[in-house]
Amino acid sequence: MATERKEKLIRVLQLMEATDEKSPMNATQLVEKLDDQFTLGDVDRRSIYRDISMLQYCGYQISQCKDKRKGWYMEKHAFDDWEIKIMMDSILQAKCITSENAKSIRGRLLSLSSDRGRKRFAHQIMPKSMNMAADQMMGEYIEIMLEAMYAGKQITFQYTELNDRLKPVIKRDGHIYKLSLYTLVWSDNTYYLIGAHDNHSNLTNYRLDRIRNLHISEDKIIPAKDKVRDNPELVIQDYVKKSVDHFAGEPIRVEVEYTPNSINHAILYDFAGGDISVRTSGDKSIARFTKMDSVTLIGWLTQYATRFKVVAPEELKQEVVEELKKGLAKYI
C-alpha cells in the first residue's frame, strides 16, 4: 500500500471517529474534508467506499445510514456521552489532582466523543474545579504506586500532619514509612492507600494528599494473604468500609423521628440511601436505617439535631445528647 493511501485510510478513520448516528458523513463530504483538513487533494470518491469497507473489515463499528446518500457513521465510540459526562464531573470534584490536570483530562475525554457530542458539552456551564490546592505530584504518585503494585515492590514515603496554623508538616521528624501497598481506594473525592507494614499484622491506610517523597523500594511486598490470611479481598473491602468510608464501628439500626416535609426527606435520603423504612406516628414520621456506629453518624445527628431526634438505640441517643451538651457548653 502506497504511503499516500495509508495516510488517506488513517485520515478517513479520524474523520469517521468524529461522526455519530445523527451526524454522518457521505463520500463527497469525506473527500472535501480530506482536502480541507489534511490537504489530500484529488481523492477519488469511489476509493472512499473501499476505505470504509477496509475499516469495517478491521473491526471498526462503522454503519451505513438507511438513506445511503447520507453516508456512514461510527456506531460505537470508546464511551457514550453520558459516561463521559460522569467521568468529567468526577474529575472536577477530585481533590487529588490540580485544576490544570483536570482541564487536560476533560479535553482528552471530550476527544473520545463525536464532533456533535463535543458541541453538546460546549453548551454546558461547567462547575469550577474543586482541586485548586492539589499537589502537582499526585498524578506522578499514582503512577508510582500502580507500578509498585504491578512489580510487587513496597513503597517508601513521608507523611504529613497539620500544625497549629493548619499547614502541612512532615510527621515524626521526617520518618520514612515503608508499606506493602495492596490497593488504592477512592473515598470522599480523594485516594487512600491500603496496605500493611512489615512489623504489624493489621491493615493500615494513608491519604494520598498527605504523602510526600514517594518512591518504589527494592524490597518485595508481603502478600496480603500473609497478613490477613483467608479471602484477602473480602477482608480489605470490610476494612475499607469500616476504617476509610466510616472511620470505625459496627453497623447499627438507627431510628429517628422527624416532621415529614420535602427538605427533611431529601436530607435523610442523601445520608441514609434507599434502605430506609418509614412509619407514621401522629404528625411525625419515624425512619429506620442502618449505618456504621462512627463519628460520621454522630456528627450527622448533631448537625441535624433540630430536624431529627434519635429514638433508638438508647445508647446512641445518649451519646448524641452528650455531644450536644458539650457543644452548648462552649457557648455558655
The CATH number assigned to the domain holding 22 equals: 1.10.10
Confidence of residue 144 (pLDDT cuts 50, 70, 90): very high
- Highest-confidence segment of 142-151, 203-212, 279-288: 142-151
Please indicate, yes or no, whether residues 118 and 156 belong to a single structural domain of this protein: no
| Short-list 206, 193, 190, 89, CA closest to 134 | 190
> Is residue 86 in some structural domain?
yes
Q: Are residues 236 and 213 both part of a single domain?
A: yes
Q: Is residue 133 part of a domain?
A: no
Same domain, 196 and 294: no
Query: Rg (Cα) of the chain, in Å, rounded?
Result: 28
Percent of residues, the chain, with pLDDT higher than 90: 53
222 contacts 204 by C-beta, under 8 angstroms: no
Residue 234 in any domain: the answer is yes
Task: Please check whether residues 222 and 187 belong to one and the same domain.
Answer: yes
Range(s) of the domain holding residue 237: 138-244
- Taking the C-alpha atoms of residue 296 and residue 188, their distance in angstroms, rounded to an integer, is 12
Task: Report the CATH number at residue 295.
Answer: 3.30.70
The predicted-structure confidence for 7-64, as pLDDT tens digits, reads as follows 999 999 999 999 999 999 999 999 999 999 999 988 999 999 999 999 999 999 999 9
pLDDT in tens, 300-321: 999 999 999 999 999 999 999 9
What CA–CA distance (Å, rounded) separates 9 from 1? 10
Alpha carbon separation from 114 to 18, 53, 74, 110, 119 (Å, rounded): 4, 21, 9, 8, 9
Q: Give domain status of residue 285, yes or no.
A: yes
Identify the band that residue 247 occupies on the pLDDT scale cut at 50, 70 and 90: low
